[in-house]
Chain A
Amino acid sequence: MKRKLKCYLAYTTLTYRILGVVLIPCAFWLLCVAVLWSKYGGIMGAVQPDSAGNYTFYIWLCMYMVFYEIYTDYWVLGGCFSDAGKGLRYFRTSCRGEEVIRNIAAVDLLRRFLYCMIFSGIIFLFTGWEAVIVAGLVMYCVIVGVLNGSRHYDGLQRSSGIAILSQVVLALINTLNIILLDLAEGRKAVMLTGLILLYGVLAFCLSRLMVRRIVIRIRGGKD
């Protein structure tokens, strides 16, 4: 893990790490807390199990997260699946290039996963750990899915278009989840476990795909 982290730190710029990894998310965590506080009069007692407000806030948060991840990703690996292959040519000159880029992509995904879990944790703090995991996984799947598309374009316009379209997918997934949970009245825990498994597998597959595609760019030498 130390080597993976070292590769990630070497590849990402200090500005990105300060602004994209620390300051912007921290500012948003604070904003989340502040919004929940003002709405419910205090975060500890405010966020109630099964609150509709939580869910609206969650969807709004997902929308923000997709844009945040796309724009900050553009800083680091934006356009890396495109023919220009931003910065990947240098990795091909080394036999370690594949391992290094795999490490970078893995740490990057781990960071996204942790952020999704933290954000959904703040909102669904008292709803139960299953809800936190489902919400976090859905957020993560949408973000990674969108990045799989946006990394093909070395520009923000098309990536923004993909992010906007992804909101439809996000809405559909969340609607499906609500319907499924309503249908499973009385067996909610079973349904939540099922959803965790479903989105867990999806998140794993999307992550694998993401790492694999960037490795193929190195290995395949498509130019």
Chain B
Amino acid sequence: MDYVIEAHDIKKKYKRFTLDIPELKIPRGFATALIGENGAGKTTLLNILAGILLQYHGKIRYFDQYTDKDREEIPDVKELIGYTASGSYFVAQWKLKEVEDISEALFQGFHRERFEQWCRDLAVGAGGWDPGQKVASLSDGNRMKLMIAGVLARDTKLLLMDEPASPLDPVMRDRLCEIIREYLAEGDGQRSVFFSTHNVADMENVTDYAIIMEQGRIVEQGFVEDLKEKYVLVKGDAADLGAVQDKLFTCSSNQYGFEGICLADKLDRLAGCNVSMERPGLTQISVAVMKHFSRVTKG
């Protein structure tokens, strides 16, 4: 297995939060989703990987070739990485023309015509390419589209995207999934995407590999198909809840019945119980894992 990013002993301490990741491996050629609750450390991790946040401990290796020191010293490394932030990183007073100009000054592989085409395709702002339109006049969704257009206008091999789906409408989320698929397909196995998301359901059809974080730690990771084999969705009537509740990984119930997630290798515990089993979706798996480790008071 090839990895686009390999990180070891990543630590970043804040006053009330510590990111502590002994090992992180992001497979090359795939779309990897970073899932976790608010404050789990997703943005911190992405900022460290993108070189936005430089004060941390640990070692990172990119493209099986460059270290994190190289990332700051060899221009090629950051040229190959496209990063979109959770908020806009463009100065609000800039017009689209100025975003284009400064991007051209910052990145050797920035293509103006490609940027303008992506702005048209994604209907940034008023719908067409309007160089006079200000970043400040764009909605959150359009600012995200502008950042996406900016990274797609470059020759990158890795996209790091912090919550790209959150400000987008459902149609654009669907388009985003298409864009990610096209980006990976055109890369011939050499391009990778690593994105954080809360919208697991919307992004599920583009996710190949998932990493679930809680309280600054990685609590689960693997290829989606493997995770779907690892966990089983269990359903049953409310009357049977008492018999199975303590055997499930997580469980939620109402007056009619219950639904829970069980580890596949512990299914034998449910022998004799009146339950039905299904293959879970990534959303159900991630919610179950997050609930299991969450600090949020269980209802």
> Residues of A at under 8 Å CB distance from B?
6-7, 9-11, 13-16, 75, 86-87, 89-97, 100, 219-223
Contacts and interface: CB of A to CB of B under 8 A. Distances in A.
B256 interface: no
Helix, strand, loop or mixed for chain A's interface?
A: helix
Interface stretch (B71-79, B163-171, B268-276, B285-293): B71-79
B55 A220 contact: yes
B102 A10 contact: yes
A93 B83 CA distance: 7
Contact of B90 (A75, A87, A96): A87
Interface in B54-94: 54-55, 72-75, 77-79, 81, 83, 85, 89-91, 93-94
Nearest to A90: B89
A155 B52 CA distance: 24
Nearest to A16: B93
A92 B53 CA distance: 9
5 contacts: A91-B106, A93-B52, A93-B89, A100-B102, A223-B47
B281 interface: no
Given A6-B105, A100-B106, 18 more contacts: A7-B105, A10-B102, A13-B93, A16-B93, A75-B93, A86-B91, A89-B52, A92-B50, A93-B50, A93-B51, A93-B83, A93-B89, A93-B106, A94-B106, A95-B74, A96-B106, A96-B108, A220-B54
Contacts of B102: 10-11, 90, 100
Contacts of B78: 93-95
Query: What bracket does the count of chain B residues touching chain A fall in?
Result: 20 to 34
A16 to B, nearest CB: 8
B90 A90 contact: yes
Contacts of A97: 106
A222 B89 CA distance: 15
Contacts of B112: none
A14 B55 contact: no
Task: Pick the most buried of A13, A75, A100: most chain B CB atoms within 10 A of its CB.
Answer: A13
Task: Pick the most buried of A94, A96, A219: most chain B CB atoms within 10 A of its CB.
Answer: A94
Contacts of B104: 10
Contacts of B77: 95
A219 B95 CA distance: 26
Contacts of B3: none
A110 B83 CA distance: 33
Contact of B52 (A86, A87, A221): A221
Contact of B51 (A9, A75, A90, A92): A92
A75 B94 CA distance: 10
B73 to A, nearest CB: 8
A96 B102 CA distance: 11
A91 B91 CA distance: 11
Nearest to A77: B91
B98 A13 contact: yes
Contacts of A87: 89-91, 94
B95 A223 contact: no
B249 interface: no
Nearest to B75: A95
Contacts of A86: 91
A103 to B, nearest CB: 9
Closest 5 CB pairs of A and B: A221-B54, A10-B101, A87-B91, A95-B75, A94-B106
A89 B90 CA distance: 8
B107 interface: yes
A92 to B, nearest CB: 5
A95 B105 contact: no
Nearest to A12: B98
B101 A13 contact: no
Contacts of A92: 50-52
B98 A10 contact: yes
B93 A10 contact: no
A90 B90 CA distance: 7
Given A90-B106, A223-B53, A96 B95 contact: no
Contacts of A6: 105
Nearest to A91: B106
Contacts of B72: 95
Interface string B230-269: 0000000000000000000000000000000000000000
